[in-house]
Amino acid sequence: MQFLYHMPTKIIFGRNCINSNSAEFLNYGRKPLIITGNSSAKKCGALADIIQALCEHSMSYELYDGVKPNPTVANVMEALDVIHEHKCDFVIAIGGGSPIDAGKAVSLFATQNYIDHDNLFTTLYTEQPLPFIAIPTTAGTGSEVTQYSILTDVKNETKKNLSHVNLFPKIAFLDPRYTENLPYEITINTAIDAFSHAIESHLSKRATEMSKLVSGEAMRIIVPCLLNLSQNTPVPKDIRGKLLYASMLGGIAIAQTGTTIVHAMGYSLTYFKNLDHGMANGVLLCKYLEYVYANDPTQISQILALLNMNKLKDLESIIEQHVKHNFDITDEEICLYSQKAIYTKAAANTTPSPSFDDIKNIYCSSLSL
Ligand code: NAP
Ligand code: FE
């Protein structure tokens, strides 16, 4: 057996975990820039908890609350101006994957002597980023435990992955209370994102015994949660905690293996059709599983065995009950999206390696064309 497993983030999980561990902030600097989206960090109570923790230790802070969903490079550069202007020495991001990913990029760019805007995603960044702390308020991306920052690259009309070993957060504080008032739709979309991470990681070319232990556990936790979620019933607190934990496991798994063609294909549905990130993966997941099954059934059988299921259809029906989309798409658009997906790292992680026609087929059959 051979594997490399690297996960340097300190994880602090539990209700009121920021309040109980407020001295942690003293280890990373004197004045953080807090990065959030428009309103959820305030509404869910996380921002107040952070401010209280900083005040307890007489630390000042600056707030940037302008991160948009699927943040663009321009959005990150705006936050970067704030950090330079106010001379902050570490970064705290509160939110879904969007503020956390924007925060990672800000912490990285803040210390570089020169930023090559034409090669932002391929530069070998040599300076250590500012210390970065992540506080998730959705249960889906697992970004609090990954080295990835996914940004919208308007110039190339896609989402790109800024990946660097130094982008792992120093600490992730996971408090399920922050996810308790998530609207149903965001709960589903993000749960499907986490499920997709676990499945893709398990099937990735780079999967190892160790990563499969983590991705398998994430799947085992998420399936009963998906079975219990329904539009008209409030989400019980124990399910909130399980989803947050499982989404973290999904993040740990993809940090080792990367994602696969599902994520690469989903980015175009988000960029061009404005479909939510998690839902974009959900729409494609069943036909991706069928594609893998047709070429390598043992991989899928292993997943079904883990989940105590007999048939792939059993797993598909759990996904299908939550998936919906509502947009028109042309053959020309599908060819463009397939072209974009095939040259990604995620495509290279996919086994068996998909051809242009395989990718096109997954799009067409997923979107019922
Ligand atoms: P998001 O884009 O961060 O947020 C979506 C919406 O949810 C926003 O309107 C946000 O409001 C709201 N929201 C967040 N927390 C909430 C709460 N507790 N209560 C009510 N509303 C809340 O959503 P996300 O799905 O978590 O993140 C998606 C992004 O993560 C995508 O860009 C995706 O590519 C990326 N991603 C990254 C990784 C990685 O490893 N780095 C992995 C997968 C996905 P506010 O705007 O007011 O905050
Ligand atoms: Fe994702």
Q: What is the pLDDT of residues 164-206, one digit of tens each?
A: 999 999 999 999 999 999 999 999 999 999 999 999 999 999 9
- The answer to whether residue 216 scores a pLDDT higher than 90 is yes
Instruction: Kindly identify the ligand whose nearest atom is closest to the C-alpha of 191.
Output: 1
> Is residue 75 in contact with ligand 1, taking CB distance under 6 Å?
no
Instruction: Kindly identify the ligand whose nearest atom is closest to the C-alpha of 281.
Output: 2
At residue 284, the 3 state secondary structure works out as: helix
Q: Of 47, 137, 181, which is best to mutate to test ligand 1, by the most ligand atoms within 8 angstroms of its C-beta?
A: 137
Instruction: Kindly identify the ligand whose nearest atom is closest to the C-alpha of 152.
Output: 1
Give the position of tokens 């939550």: 322
> Is residue 179 in contact with ligand 1, taking CB distance under 6 Å?
yes
Mean pLDDT of 343-363: 97
Task: Detail the DSSP E strand segments found in the chain.
Answer: 10-13, 32-37, 62-67, 90-95, 132-136, 148-153, 158-163, 171-174
Report residue 332's pLDDT band, with 50, 70 and 90 as the boundaries: very high
- The answer to whether residue 369 scores a pLDDT higher than 90 is no
Mean pLDDT of 137-160: 97
Taking only the tens place, the pLDDT of each residue in 231-266 is 989 999 999 999 999 999 999 999 999 999 999 999
Q: What are 248's two structure tokens? A: 């973290």
- The answer to whether residue 74 scores a pLDDT higher than 80 is yes
Task: Point out the ligand 1 atom lying closest to the alpha carbon of residue 46.
Answer: 18
Rounded to whole angstroms, the Cα distance separating 264 from 129 reads 27
Ligand 2 mean position, distance from CA 194 (Å): 7
pLDDT computed for residue 267 by the predictor: 97
Taking CA atoms only, the protein residue closest to ligand 1 atom 28 is: 97
pLDDT computed for residue 103 by the predictor: 98
The one-character DSSP state at 351 is S
Rounded to whole angstroms, the Cα distance separating 108 from 111 reads 6
Nearest to 218 by CA among 287, 149, 139, 163: 139
Taking CA atoms only, the protein residue closest to ligand 1 atom 35 is: 97
Q: Of 73, 150, 200, 237, which is best to mutate to test ligand 1, by the most ligand atoms within 8 angstroms of its C-beta?
A: 150
Ligand 1 mean position, distance from CA 220 (Å): 23
Mean of the per-residue pLDDT values of the chain: 97
pLDDT computed for residue 276 by the predictor: 98
Q: What are 224's two structure tokens? A: 């009963």
pLDDT computed for residue 104 by the predictor: 98
pLDDT computed for residue 368 by the predictor: 85
Ligand 1 mean position, distance from CA 352 (Å): 31
> Is residue 181 in contact with ligand 1, taking CB distance under 6 Å?
yes
Ligand 2 mean position, distance from CA 6 (Å): 19
- The answer to whether residue 328 scores a pLDDT higher than 80 is yes
> Strands 158-163 and 148-153, how do they pair?
antiparallel
Q: Of 42, 98, 235, which is best to mutate to test ligand 1, by the most ligand atoms within 8 angstroms of its C-beta?
A: 98
Mean pLDDT of 310-316: 98
Q: Does the global pTM surpass 0.85?
A: yes
> Is residue 92 in contact with ligand 1, taking CB distance under 6 Å?
no
Rounded to whole angstroms, the Cα distance separating 77 from 189 reads 28
Task: Point out the ligand 1 atom lying closest to the alpha carbon of residue 99.
Answer: 3
pLDDT computed for residue 358 by the predictor: 98
Taking CA atoms only, the protein residue closest to ligand 1 atom 30 is: 97
pLDDT computed for residue 186 by the predictor: 98
Taking only the tens place, the pLDDT of each residue in 34-70 is 999 999 999 999 999 999 999 999 999 999 999 999 9
